[in-house]
Chain A
C-alpha cells in the first residue's frame, strides 16, 4: 500500500500557482527522491502532506489518513525536517530536540545520544548561536532520534559539509533498513541518486517524471571529455551521442546514460589518452529533456 498518495493537487498563493495538478505516490519502505529546481513546489507539497497548507483541490492520503483532517494523529507516526530550519533562539539545541521529541510522544534515548555524537552537535549552545548547518543538525537529530514510520525531509543536507552529508546518508540507510519510508526532497540530482530507490521530478508544480533510477537512466546524460590517439570522428556515429565538439583529437560530447557503454567502447577503439566524465546537473537535465532554461 502506498504511504503517500497525492492526486491532482492544486495549491495557489494569490496569483502564484505553486502546485499545478500534482500527482505523487510513495510506496511503503522506499526512499523516494523528490527532485526539482528552486521554487518548483517541493516545500509546498511537503507542507500539504503535513496539513500545514490546505490544497485548493485534489485528493491527498498519507499513512492512510487525510493530512488536513487527521493531522495531529498522523503526526504521531511521522517526523519532519524543514528546509529552512528556524529554532527558538533562547533554547539550547538539546532542549529543542527534547521539546520536539516529547511533543511527538517520546524519544529513543540511545538514538538521541548516538545521533548527537554522530553529527558532532554541541547541545548546550543556544540556538541563536548556531550556523545554518548546525540548526539543520538539530532538526535532523530531533527527527532521527524518534522512531517514525515516515520521514519527510525537505532539502535536509543543504547546510551540511560533505563529512556530515556522508553521516546523513548512512543514517538514512539505517532508518530505511528498519522499514521506514522516506521522502527526501533535493535540488541536486547526485544526492537524490545516491540515496533514492525511486525518484519523482517536479517542475513548476507538476511531477514530470517518476521511476526507479534505472527507468530514469534514459533521461540522464553524461558529459564526456576525451583525448584520443586517432581523430575521434567515428564517435559521432554512435547512437545516443549528442552535440559532439572536436578540437583536433579532443572531443567533448553528451551521451544518454543507457548508451554510455557503446560510447566508451568506441573511444577505446580510438586509443584513449585521457578521459573525464561527469553526470549531468539537474539544470542540464531539464535543458536537454525539456529544452527550457531552468530559472533558479
Chain B
C-alpha cells in the first residue's frame, strides 16, 4: 500500500465529498483561484457546506463561517462592516449560497444588503433545487422539472433573481456558466472590484439531482447556454451586455432530453419552454442594444 499525501495547490483541498461530476466543486476551485487568499467566505447549509468541513477539518485555506440558510448576505454585510471600521479594505467578502439559500429563504437578507449597497460579492450556485436535503423543488427549479416535491413536474416557471438584483441598481450583476470558465473568471474579477454589492448567478449542473451521467456536466451546462435556457450576460452600472452570444440557438428539447428530471414533459410543455426562452432572450437582446 502507498500512503498518498498531497498538498492541494489551490485554496481548496482534495477529496471534498461532493458527488462525482459536481459543477459546484469546480466552481469553488475557480472562484477561490480568482479571488485569492485575502478572501473571507460565508457558506450557508447546502451542498457548498461540504467545503466548510466536518468537525475539526475544513476543505478551505481561507477564513470562513457557516451561517444559516437565510442570512448569508447579512453575515457577509456584517463582516464587511467589521473590516471597514478597522480600516481593512483589501479583503474580499464572499457569500457562496445555493439557489434555495438565495432565491427563496435568503432573498430578504440579500435584498437588504443589495439595497444598502454593502460591498460584498454574492455568488449563487444554482443547481435548481434543494439538493442537500434530497432534491426538493425550489423557486429556481425550472418549469417541468421533476423533484421530490414536484413529482409531476414543476407547474410554474422559475423566478428570475438576476433581474431582481438588477432592480436593486447594484453596480454589478452577471449570469455565469460552468461551461464557460473564462467568462466566469472574468466576471468574478469584475464583481470583486465592483465597489458595491456584486451578484453572480452561476448555473451549476448537478448529476445527482438532474439525472444525467456525471461525465456530462460541462456538456449539459453548455447546452443550457446554447439553447437559450441560460443566457450569459452582465449588467454593469445598469448597462446590459451579452457576454456569450448565441447566434444559432439549438432547440430547448436538446437540453431537456439530457436529463431525466424533464422526462415527463409533454411536447406542448416543451414548446412552451421554447417560446418562453426565445421571448426572454429577445428582450435581453433589445435591452443590450438599447
Q: Do A and B bind each other?
A: no
What is the interface of chain B, defined by CB distance below 8 A to chain A? none
What is the interface of chain A, defined by CB distance below 8 A to chain B? none
